[in-house]
Amino acid sequence: MLAFEKEGRLLGYIVGQIEPAPPGLLPEWVGVVLELNVDAHARENRVGRDLLIALREWFAGRGIRQVAARIIGHSAVEQAFWRSQGSTDWMAWLWLKS
């Protein structure tokens, strides 16, 4: 977890981990952004972008060059942020109720 703080105020944080890729896909390991949260008043300060850059550097230091983010499919704000960072669609998850 990485956090961005200014004058004692938490402006955002990002949580990521290294996971095995789905079976049969390369590379074998990917960095996954589990959560990215930015204070609404800090968005214009590029806090989210800076946190993502720092996490990608952390992944790169461990040999991980591919990064995936799990987001809510219908969240226009999240989708816009990730697309502005160069993300493209990769996989879709569908849930079955039991």
Query: Hunting for tokens 């809510």 — which residue is that?
Result: 72
- Ramachandran category for residue 63: left, alpha or beta (phi over 0 → left; psi -120 to 50 → alpha): left
CA angle 96, 78, 33 (to 5 degrees): 75
CA-CA distance, 52 to 55, in Å (whole number)? Answer: 5
Predicted model pTM:
0.85
pLDDT in tens, 63-93: 999 999 988 777 888 888 999 999 998 887 7
pLDDT in tens, 3-46: 999 889 999 999 999 999 989 889 999 999 999 999 988 777 89
